[in-house]
Amino acid sequence: MRKPLPTIGPSLAASAEFLYNAVMPVQRAPRLSSGSFDLNRYLDARTAAVNGALDRFLPKATTKPATIHQAMRYSLFAGGKRLRPVLCLAAAEACGGAIEPALPLACAVECIHTYSLIHDDLPAMDDDDYRRGKLTNHKVFGEGIAVLAGDGLLTQAFEVAAQCLGWPRYSHRDVVRELAEAAGSLQLIAGQVADLEGEGRKISAAQLRYIHERKTSALLRCSVRLGGMSADCTAAQLEALGDFGYHVGLAFQIIDDILDVTRTSEQLGKTAGKDIAAQKATYPSIVGLEKSRKIAAELTARAFAALKPFRGQAIALEALAEYLLKRDR
Ligand code: GRG
Protein backbone atom coordinates (compact mmCIF):
# COMPACT_ATOMS: atom_id res chain seq x y z
CA MET A 1 0.00 0.00 0.00
CA ARG A 2 1.19 3.51 -0.78
CA LYS A 3 2.28 5.63 2.18
CA PRO A 4 -0.04 8.58 3.01
CA LEU A 5 1.20 12.05 2.14
CA PRO A 6 2.60 13.96 5.14
CA THR A 7 0.38 16.62 6.66
CA ILE A 8 1.54 20.22 6.61
CA GLY A 9 1.36 23.12 9.04
CA PRO A 10 -0.76 26.28 8.57
CA SER A 11 2.13 28.48 7.36
CA LEU A 12 3.13 26.00 4.69
CA ALA A 13 -0.50 25.62 3.64
CA ALA A 14 -0.83 29.42 3.34
CA SER A 15 2.25 29.63 1.17
CA ALA A 16 0.92 26.74 -0.87
CA GLU A 17 -2.31 28.64 -1.44
CA PHE A 18 -0.24 31.64 -2.54
CA LEU A 19 1.72 29.46 -4.93
CA TYR A 20 -1.42 27.88 -6.31
CA ASN A 21 -3.17 31.21 -6.84
CA ALA A 22 -0.08 32.67 -8.44
CA VAL A 23 -0.10 30.15 -11.24
CA MET A 24 -3.74 29.16 -11.52
CA PRO A 25 -5.61 31.69 -13.67
CA VAL A 26 -7.06 28.96 -15.85
CA GLN A 27 -6.05 28.89 -19.48
CA ARG A 28 -7.04 26.31 -22.05
CA ALA A 29 -5.29 22.96 -21.81
CA PRO A 30 -2.46 22.56 -24.33
CA ARG A 31 -3.38 20.79 -27.55
CA LEU A 32 -1.32 19.70 -30.51
CA SER A 33 -2.05 21.96 -33.44
CA SER A 34 -1.38 19.28 -36.03
CA GLY A 35 -2.75 15.77 -36.11
CA SER A 36 -0.05 14.54 -38.46
CA PHE A 37 2.96 14.89 -36.17
CA ASP A 38 4.16 11.47 -34.96
CA LEU A 39 5.88 12.10 -31.64
CA ASN A 40 6.97 8.49 -31.12
CA ARG A 41 8.75 8.42 -34.45
CA TYR A 42 10.26 11.81 -33.74
CA LEU A 43 11.51 10.68 -30.31
CA ASP A 44 12.96 7.45 -31.70
CA ALA A 45 14.78 9.22 -34.53
CA ARG A 46 16.17 12.07 -32.40
CA THR A 47 17.13 9.75 -29.54
CA ALA A 48 19.04 7.55 -32.00
CA ALA A 49 20.85 10.63 -33.35
CA VAL A 50 21.78 11.71 -29.82
CA ASN A 51 22.94 8.22 -28.82
CA GLY A 52 25.10 7.92 -31.94
CA ALA A 53 26.67 11.33 -31.34
CA LEU A 54 27.31 10.63 -27.65
CA ASP A 55 29.04 7.39 -28.62
CA ARG A 56 31.27 9.29 -31.05
CA PHE A 57 32.04 12.15 -28.66
CA LEU A 58 32.91 10.03 -25.61
CA PRO A 59 36.25 8.21 -25.22
CA LYS A 60 35.83 4.48 -25.93
CA ALA A 61 35.35 2.17 -22.95
CA THR A 62 38.75 0.65 -23.69
CA THR A 63 40.57 4.02 -23.67
CA LYS A 64 42.97 4.16 -20.71
CA PRO A 65 42.26 4.56 -17.88
CA ALA A 66 39.49 2.18 -18.90
CA THR A 67 37.69 2.16 -15.53
CA ILE A 68 36.72 5.82 -15.71
CA HIS A 69 35.52 5.61 -19.30
CA GLN A 70 33.52 2.49 -18.53
CA ALA A 71 31.95 4.27 -15.55
CA MET A 72 31.12 7.40 -17.58
CA ARG A 73 29.59 5.30 -20.35
CA TYR A 74 27.75 3.04 -17.89
CA SER A 75 25.54 5.91 -16.66
CA LEU A 76 25.41 7.77 -19.95
CA PHE A 77 24.05 4.71 -21.78
CA ALA A 78 21.91 3.35 -18.94
CA GLY A 79 18.61 4.20 -20.65
CA GLY A 80 17.90 7.86 -19.84
CA LYS A 81 14.93 9.39 -21.62
CA ARG A 82 17.18 11.96 -23.45
CA LEU A 83 14.60 14.69 -22.88
CA ARG A 84 17.05 17.55 -22.67
CA PRO A 85 19.01 16.74 -25.83
CA VAL A 86 15.81 16.04 -27.78
CA LEU A 87 14.39 19.38 -26.60
CA CYS A 88 17.63 21.01 -27.77
CA LEU A 89 17.26 19.49 -31.25
CA ALA A 90 13.55 20.38 -31.40
CA ALA A 91 14.38 24.00 -30.51
CA ALA A 92 16.93 24.12 -33.32
CA GLU A 93 14.30 22.84 -35.75
CA ALA A 94 11.71 25.32 -34.48
CA CYS A 95 14.14 28.07 -35.48
CA GLY A 96 14.59 26.61 -38.96
CA GLY A 97 17.89 24.91 -38.16
CA ALA A 98 19.15 21.36 -38.75
CA ILE A 99 19.95 18.86 -36.03
CA GLU A 100 23.64 18.30 -36.93
CA PRO A 101 24.92 21.68 -35.71
CA ALA A 102 22.89 21.25 -32.52
CA LEU A 103 24.20 17.77 -31.68
CA PRO A 104 27.39 18.82 -29.81
CA LEU A 105 25.25 21.10 -27.62
CA ALA A 106 22.54 18.48 -27.10
CA CYS A 107 25.21 15.95 -26.06
CA ALA A 108 26.91 18.45 -23.75
CA VAL A 109 23.65 18.99 -21.88
CA GLU A 110 23.08 15.24 -21.53
CA CYS A 111 26.62 14.82 -20.13
CA ILE A 112 25.94 17.50 -17.52
CA HIS A 113 22.57 15.98 -16.66
CA THR A 114 24.10 12.50 -16.24
CA TYR A 115 26.93 13.85 -14.08
CA SER A 116 24.35 15.48 -11.80
CA LEU A 117 22.43 12.23 -11.46
CA ILE A 118 25.59 10.24 -10.61
CA HIS A 119 26.55 12.73 -7.92
CA ASP A 120 22.98 13.05 -6.63
CA ASP A 121 22.83 9.28 -6.12
CA LEU A 122 25.99 9.20 -3.95
CA PRO A 123 25.65 8.27 -0.27
CA ALA A 124 26.68 11.82 0.67
CA MET A 125 23.66 13.16 -1.23
CA ASP A 126 20.46 11.23 -2.01
CA ASP A 127 22.04 7.81 -1.39
CA ASP A 128 20.23 5.82 -4.07
CA ASP A 129 20.82 2.29 -5.31
CA TYR A 130 18.93 2.45 -8.61
CA ARG A 131 18.84 4.91 -11.48
CA ARG A 132 17.57 4.47 -15.01
CA GLY A 133 16.52 0.94 -14.05
CA LYS A 134 20.07 -0.11 -13.18
CA LEU A 135 22.34 -0.08 -10.15
CA THR A 136 23.70 3.41 -9.53
CA ASN A 137 27.22 4.25 -10.63
CA HIS A 138 28.80 4.05 -7.15
CA LYS A 139 27.12 0.67 -6.52
CA VAL A 140 28.92 -0.74 -9.56
CA PHE A 141 32.22 1.18 -9.59
CA GLY A 142 32.59 2.39 -5.99
CA GLU A 143 32.23 5.91 -4.64
CA GLY A 144 35.62 7.21 -5.71
CA ILE A 145 35.18 6.25 -9.36
CA ALA A 146 31.56 7.50 -9.33
CA VAL A 147 32.71 10.94 -8.15
CA LEU A 148 35.32 10.94 -10.90
CA ALA A 149 32.86 9.68 -13.53
CA GLY A 150 30.63 12.67 -12.70
CA ASP A 151 33.63 15.00 -12.86
CA GLY A 152 34.64 13.42 -16.17
CA LEU A 153 31.21 13.91 -17.71
CA LEU A 154 30.96 17.52 -16.53
CA THR A 155 34.35 18.30 -18.06
CA GLN A 156 33.59 16.30 -21.20
CA ALA A 157 30.47 18.42 -21.69
CA PHE A 158 32.58 21.51 -22.33
CA GLU A 159 34.97 19.67 -24.64
CA VAL A 160 32.01 18.40 -26.67
CA ALA A 161 30.27 21.80 -26.72
CA ALA A 162 33.50 23.40 -27.93
CA GLN A 163 33.16 21.30 -31.08
CA CYS A 164 30.16 23.34 -32.22
CA LEU A 165 30.64 25.62 -35.20
CA GLY A 166 29.85 28.99 -33.71
CA TRP A 167 27.34 31.21 -35.52
CA PRO A 168 27.07 34.85 -36.63
CA ARG A 169 24.94 35.77 -33.60
CA TYR A 170 26.44 33.30 -31.09
CA SER A 171 30.09 32.55 -30.43
CA HIS A 172 31.70 29.68 -28.55
CA ARG A 173 31.92 32.06 -25.61
CA ASP A 174 28.11 32.41 -25.56
CA VAL A 175 27.69 28.64 -25.64
CA VAL A 176 30.19 28.02 -22.84
CA ARG A 177 28.64 30.73 -20.71
CA GLU A 178 25.12 29.37 -21.23
CA LEU A 179 26.19 25.89 -20.11
CA ALA A 180 28.34 27.08 -17.22
CA GLU A 181 25.62 29.34 -15.85
CA ALA A 182 22.98 26.61 -15.92
CA ALA A 183 25.29 24.04 -14.29
CA GLY A 184 27.00 26.41 -11.86
CA SER A 185 26.66 27.49 -8.26
CA LEU A 186 23.84 29.93 -8.97
CA GLN A 187 21.61 27.39 -10.75
CA LEU A 188 21.92 23.57 -10.74
CA ILE A 189 24.30 23.46 -7.79
CA ALA A 190 22.35 26.15 -5.92
CA GLY A 191 19.20 24.04 -6.32
CA GLN A 192 20.96 20.98 -5.02
CA VAL A 193 22.35 22.90 -2.01
CA ALA A 194 18.88 24.25 -1.15
CA ASP A 195 17.44 20.76 -1.61
CA LEU A 196 19.98 19.22 0.76
CA GLU A 197 19.52 21.96 3.33
CA GLY A 198 15.71 21.72 3.10
CA GLU A 199 15.56 18.02 3.99
CA GLY A 200 13.51 17.35 7.11
CA ARG A 201 12.59 21.03 7.39
CA LYS A 202 9.40 22.88 6.58
CA ILE A 203 10.11 25.06 3.61
CA SER A 204 7.89 27.67 2.02
CA ALA A 205 6.34 27.36 -1.40
CA ALA A 206 8.66 30.13 -2.56
CA GLN A 207 11.67 28.12 -1.38
CA LEU A 208 10.34 25.04 -3.15
CA ARG A 209 9.98 27.01 -6.35
CA TYR A 210 13.56 28.32 -5.90
CA ILE A 211 14.77 24.70 -5.76
CA HIS A 212 12.75 23.60 -8.79
CA GLU A 213 13.85 26.57 -10.87
CA ARG A 214 17.49 25.76 -10.26
CA LYS A 215 17.64 22.00 -9.87
CA THR A 216 15.41 21.20 -12.83
CA SER A 217 14.30 24.17 -14.88
CA ALA A 218 17.71 25.79 -15.45
CA LEU A 219 19.14 22.88 -17.49
CA LEU A 220 15.93 22.43 -19.50
CA ARG A 221 15.90 26.14 -20.28
CA CYS A 222 19.57 25.97 -21.24
CA SER A 223 18.86 22.97 -23.53
CA VAL A 224 16.30 24.77 -25.67
CA ARG A 225 18.25 28.04 -25.73
CA LEU A 226 21.35 26.20 -26.97
CA GLY A 227 19.23 24.55 -29.67
CA GLY A 228 18.06 27.99 -30.75
CA MET A 229 21.64 29.31 -30.78
CA SER A 230 22.71 26.43 -33.03
CA ALA A 231 20.17 27.71 -35.57
CA ASP A 232 21.45 31.27 -35.20
CA CYS A 233 18.04 32.28 -33.83
CA THR A 234 17.01 35.90 -33.26
CA ALA A 235 17.15 37.47 -29.80
CA ALA A 236 13.33 37.32 -29.63
CA GLN A 237 13.35 33.60 -30.45
CA LEU A 238 16.03 32.99 -27.81
CA GLU A 239 13.95 34.73 -25.19
CA ALA A 240 10.82 32.81 -26.22
CA LEU A 241 12.71 29.53 -26.00
CA GLY A 242 14.01 30.45 -22.54
CA ASP A 243 10.47 31.23 -21.40
CA PHE A 244 9.26 27.92 -22.83
CA GLY A 245 12.09 25.94 -21.19
CA TYR A 246 11.57 27.62 -17.83
CA HIS A 247 7.87 26.70 -17.68
CA VAL A 248 8.34 23.21 -19.09
CA GLY A 249 11.09 22.66 -16.51
CA LEU A 250 8.84 23.60 -13.60
CA ALA A 251 6.00 21.43 -14.93
CA PHE A 252 8.46 18.58 -15.44
CA GLN A 253 9.57 18.70 -11.79
CA ILE A 254 5.98 18.78 -10.48
CA ILE A 255 5.17 15.71 -12.58
CA ASP A 256 8.35 14.10 -11.23
CA ASP A 257 7.14 14.76 -7.68
CA ILE A 258 3.71 13.32 -8.54
CA LEU A 259 5.26 10.19 -10.08
CA ASP A 260 7.40 9.74 -6.97
CA VAL A 261 4.24 9.12 -4.93
CA THR A 262 2.04 7.46 -7.55
CA ARG A 263 4.37 5.02 -9.35
CA THR A 264 6.45 2.06 -8.23
CA SER A 265 10.24 1.81 -8.29
CA GLU A 266 9.94 -0.75 -11.09
CA GLN A 267 7.85 1.63 -13.20
CA LEU A 268 10.21 4.56 -12.61
CA GLY A 269 13.53 2.72 -12.83
CA LYS A 270 14.58 4.53 -9.65
CA THR A 271 13.51 4.32 -6.03
CA ALA A 272 9.96 5.62 -5.64
CA GLY A 273 8.74 7.34 -2.46
CA LYS A 274 12.15 8.93 -1.84
CA ASP A 275 10.73 12.40 -1.22
CA ILE A 276 8.57 11.29 1.69
CA ALA A 277 11.34 9.11 3.09
CA ALA A 278 13.76 12.06 2.97
CA GLN A 279 11.03 14.37 4.37
CA LYS A 280 11.27 16.61 1.33
CA ALA A 281 8.61 19.21 0.66
CA THR A 282 7.09 18.67 -2.78
CA TYR A 283 4.10 20.06 -4.63
CA PRO A 284 1.97 16.98 -3.84
CA SER A 285 2.85 17.23 -0.13
CA ILE A 286 1.96 20.94 -0.08
CA VAL A 287 -1.09 21.29 -2.34
CA GLY A 288 -2.12 17.66 -2.91
CA LEU A 289 -2.06 15.58 -6.06
CA GLU A 290 -5.00 17.13 -7.90
CA LYS A 291 -3.84 20.71 -7.49
CA SER A 292 -0.31 19.67 -8.40
CA ARG A 293 -1.62 18.23 -11.67
CA LYS A 294 -3.53 21.44 -12.37
CA ILE A 295 -0.46 23.57 -11.69
CA ALA A 296 1.64 21.38 -14.00
CA ALA A 297 -1.02 21.76 -16.73
CA GLU A 298 -1.09 25.53 -16.21
CA LEU A 299 2.69 25.79 -16.43
CA THR A 300 2.57 23.74 -19.64
CA ALA A 301 -0.05 26.12 -21.03
CA ARG A 302 2.34 28.97 -20.28
CA ALA A 303 5.09 27.09 -22.08
CA PHE A 304 2.76 26.76 -25.07
CA ALA A 305 2.02 30.48 -24.95
CA ALA A 306 5.75 31.22 -25.06
CA LEU A 307 5.92 29.48 -28.44
CA LYS A 308 3.52 31.95 -30.06
CA PRO A 309 6.29 33.82 -31.96
CA PHE A 310 7.09 30.57 -33.80
CA ARG A 311 3.65 30.67 -35.51
CA GLY A 312 3.12 26.91 -35.63
CA GLN A 313 6.74 26.05 -36.54
CA ALA A 314 7.47 24.64 -33.06
CA ILE A 315 5.27 21.57 -33.39
CA ALA A 316 7.87 19.18 -31.93
CA LEU A 317 8.38 21.44 -28.89
CA GLU A 318 4.63 21.58 -28.37
CA ALA A 319 4.31 17.81 -28.65
CA LEU A 320 7.21 17.30 -26.25
CA ALA A 321 5.71 19.67 -23.68
CA GLU A 322 2.42 17.80 -23.80
CA TYR A 323 4.23 14.46 -23.61
CA LEU A 324 6.18 15.60 -20.53
CA LEU A 325 2.94 16.64 -18.85
CA LYS A 326 1.35 13.24 -19.51
CA ARG A 327 4.43 11.05 -18.96
CA ASP A 328 4.26 8.11 -16.54
CA ARG A 329 7.97 7.53 -15.91
C1 GRG B 1 24.70 16.91 -7.95
C2 GRG B 1 24.95 19.31 -8.67
C3 GRG B 1 24.10 18.14 -8.48
C4 GRG B 1 22.81 18.24 -8.79
C5 GRG B 1 21.86 17.13 -8.71
C6 GRG B 1 19.81 15.89 -10.89
C7 GRG B 1 19.73 16.38 -9.50
C8 GRG B 1 20.51 17.59 -9.12
C9 GRG B 1 19.02 15.70 -8.61
C10 GRG B 1 18.31 14.42 -8.96
C11 GRG B 1 16.94 14.41 -8.44
C12 GRG B 1 16.00 15.33 -9.16
C13 GRG B 1 14.60 15.27 -8.75
C14 GRG B 1 16.41 16.16 -10.06
C15 GRG B 1 15.55 17.10 -10.80
C16 GRG B 1 15.68 16.84 -12.23
C17 GRG B 1 15.14 15.50 -12.58
C18 GRG B 1 13.70 15.25 -12.42
C19 GRG B 1 15.98 14.60 -13.04
C20 GRG B 1 15.55 13.33 -13.66
O21 GRG B 1 15.46 13.62 -15.04
P22 GRG B 1 14.91 12.58 -16.10
O23 GRG B 1 13.58 12.05 -15.64
O24 GRG B 1 15.99 11.43 -15.98
O25 GRG B 1 14.94 13.22 -17.42
P26 GRG B 1 16.55 10.43 -17.11
O27 GRG B 1 17.21 9.36 -16.31
O28 GRG B 1 15.40 9.91 -17.93
O29 GRG B 1 17.52 11.22 -17.92
- Reported as a single tens digit per residue, the pLDDT across 179-188 is 999 999 999 9
Query: How far, in Å, CA of 82 to CA of 87, rounded?
Result: 9
CB of 86 shorter than 6 A to ligand 1: no
CB of 188 shorter than 6 A to ligand 1: yes
- Reported as a single tens digit per residue, the pLDDT across 17-46 is 333 333 333 222 233 345 579 999 999 999
Query: How far, in Å, CA of 142 to CA of 140, rounded?
Result: 6
CA of 108 to the centre of ligand 1 (A): 15
pTM for the full model? 0.88
Out of 151, 214, 216, mutate this one to test ligand 1's pocket (max ligand atoms within 8 Å of CB): namely 216
**Distances from the Cα of 31 to the Cαs of 297, 300, 315, 323, 328, in angstroms?**
11, 10, 10, 11, 18
CB of 216 shorter than 6 A to ligand 1: yes
CA of 167 to the centre of ligand 1 (A): 30
Check residue 22 and give its pLDDT: 33
CA of 79 to the centre of ligand 1 (A): 14
CB of 223 shorter than 6 A to ligand 1: no
CA of 216 to the centre of ligand 1 (A): 7
- How do the residues of the chain divide into helix, strand and coil, expressed in percent and rounded to 5? 70, 0, 30
Mean pLDDT of the chain: 88
